[in-house]
Structure 1
């Protein structure tokens, strides 16, 4: 039996934590010390990027926090506005680094202190990008020597660097012990490919290739997201993930709000903000989030305002609505069937055009009617991807 001792379990008071396998250990610690949650994030995150790579053929990356992705993406070229929104204008990046910039750009607040996961060998442009961000752990199949040396300097030499065998195939049966009771099931090895678009149930039935890629990104992301969950995607990346909610409409509202904020960050007024010298990247992200959020306390208002050279005028409700009308051709995926039409009614407000969901709800007719009313194209995948 091969094992790795961990700093502690789920919480610091939970000691005697370890990772072990009965065969060859597929993962190595190249730098730093790992905790139980570090391994949960890393193992889930790597499965996600490996599967995205297999499904799309593109370099893939994810930003993980608390066993759910804050964002995920495959390589797709960035336009100038998005590059500026991600703070990477005029920076040379490999396709893998662009994928990570997109993944982290989904929800920059949630990606603070993330687990960064990569499908391919980490190169120096990835390492240089991570050097500017607050990240706690990285997992990848391999690293160039120069990238490894850069990453080892993060967090005063304590940055956790994991290397994982990309060809490792786990046993078909997985086990989990909860409250002293061991649960056992077949591992969820369902492959998600373009066959999920075979059963289109709406009047409109054309899904362009770019939207099919976005739907695959969204659905594969949900396979490794705490359920209930829904995901919005555009241009090869997630733009809003609603995870771990007890009702699907709350998942949709949460994901839609994140997608709206992602789009509002590209408003000219947001892109042209001037910040005080010495303000950190974290403070910049928090300030933009505060500027976008009308529902915060006066103390929070004062905090974000202190980050600016000159406080920009906030977007009015009508200005936000006008800008959000320009968000179109968005893809939406659900990890299970949609029980009510309210999910699509809310998704339509955030530019959703293409939908993939499990189907087979007793209210399928109502959900299909909503999709048709909003001019959406919707497919029933027949696949449920709950993840707990």
Structure 2
């Protein structure tokens, strides 16, 4: 398949070819290199999250990391009003709405992935937000046509092959070198709670270093691509706090003539000015690498974290575990490092 270009427009020509059966079919549009990197990572995330939870899952991807991910839980009034979605919408629409609500500013121009067929309600939502493409296991009648009309007819629509199983070995060629490794297919520990399981699945497909905060089956903040792990926590925590502050922005009936993007901008500005009557609480945190210092626990506690899943095995893991106990945080060592580069 000839791509529009590679990582950047000046990196052309560019192409992609399956090493066996193709994992998806292009129903509409012409993908770029980055479109496909986002799509295949996002699809793996929602497939894993759905399988582990028994619920529909969705993700909003930007620059090879999720801006948000969620299961099909209930929509609160703030989220429903912001996106103009009925609180009783179908599961796949609720899952994506919750995923995009994590960080709606970062989701601008995202690649969408959902674990269930696209419904008319989801197609209607996507028609009203800025997005570059979607990958899904199927599409209800008429939805491909709605999506194909986006972006002046260039919106990317991919249909995932749900029977596809990737090769056990991954190969990448860079700068005259060929890198070969086993695919990251290690199963997640059975003892993880539902929120920690979603957090670990999300962090697995986030560029390292990374930390993910989850509550009630939806991400609250993703801290991706930081060299310092404590900075990952601070970044994810700042996003989670903003998400929390947005719950207290005065509501009211949204102006039907306002775009979702205008509503998002207004809500974000108002959230900075209001007093929050209660702090965040009962938040779960997953880290793709071991928490190396006690300051990670101190920072996590500031954002209402009560449960942590991290690999463990660092020289200071015992000290970190003691600090977690002192802050009332339940800490689980998964023994599973999940770096992604």
**If the length of structure 1 is used for normalisation, what is the TM-score?**
0.84
Shift of 1:278: 4.8
**How many angstroms apart in 2 are the aligned matches of 1:63 and 1:375?**
32
**How many angstroms apart in 1 are the aligned matches of 2:307 and 2:136?**
31
Matched, 1:282 2:279: no
Match of 2:241 in 1: 260
Corresponding residue to 2:227 among 238, 242, 246: 246
**How many angstroms apart in 2 are the aligned matches of 1:104 and 1:219?**
18
Task: Please give the secondary structure, in 2, of the residue aligned with 1:387.
Answer: coil
Matched, 1:233 2:221: no
Task: Please give the secondary structure, in 1, of the residue aligned with 2:142.
Answer: helix
Matched, 1:332 2:274: no
Match of 2:118 in 1: 122
Shift of 1:131: 1.3
Shift of 1:339: 0.2
Task: Please give the secondary structure, in 1, of the residue aligned with 2:16.
Answer: strand
Match of 2:44 in 1: 47
**If the length of structure 2 is used for normalisation, what is the TM-score?**
0.95
Shift of 1:129: 1.5
Match of 2:9 in 1: 12
**How many angstroms apart in 2 are the aligned matches of 1:263 and 1:235?**
13
Shift of 1:81: 4.2
Equivalent residue pairs, number: 341
Q: Deviations over 1:223-279 (max 9, x none)?
A: 100000000000101110000000100000000000000000001xx1337888854
Q: Deviations over 1:317-349 (max 9, x none)?
A: xx34x43x2x21111111111001111211111
Which runs of no fewer than 5 residues in structure 2 stay unpaired?
A: none
**How many angstroms apart in 2 are the aligned matches of 1:23 and 1:381?**
33
Matched, 1:98 2:94: yes
**How many angstroms apart in 1 are the aligned matches of 2:72 and 2:170?**
32
The structure with the larger Rg is 1
Assess if the C-alpha contact under 8 Å between 2:75 and 2:87 holds in 1.
Answer: no
The residue correspondences of 1:304-343 to structure 2 (distance < 5 A) are: 314-315=273-274, 319-320=275-276, 322-323=277-278, 325=279, 327-343=280-296
Match of 1:346 in 2: 299
Go from structure 1 to structure 2 and tell me whether the alpha carbon gap of 1:111 and 1:260 turns closer, same or farther (over 3 Å shift): same
Assess if the C-alpha contact under 8 Å between 1:92 and 1:125 holds in 2.
Answer: no
Which runs of no fewer than 5 residues in structure 1 stay unpaired?
A: 198-211, 294-313
Corresponding residue to 1:367 among 320, 325, 328: 320
**How many angstroms apart in 1 are the aligned matches of 2:59 and 2:86?**
23
Corresponding residue to 1:30 among 17, 27, 43: 27
Shift of 1:80: 3.0
Matched, 1:224 2:205: yes
**How many angstroms apart in 1 are the aligned matches of 2:204 and 2:328?**
27
Task: Please give the secondary structure, in 2, of the residue aligned with 1:194.
Answer: coil
Go from structure 1 to structure 2 and tell me whether the alpha carbon gap of 1:282 and 1:367 turns closer, same or farther (over 3 Å shift): same
Corresponding residue to 2:152 among 152, 156, 161: 156
Match of 1:382 in 2: 335
**How many angstroms apart in 2 are the aligned matches of 1:83 and 1:341?**
38
Q: Deviations over 1:79-132 (max 9, x none)?
A: 334433x43454652111100011000000000000010111111111111111
Assess if the C-alpha contact under 8 Å between 1:64 and 1:70 holds in 2.
Answer: yes
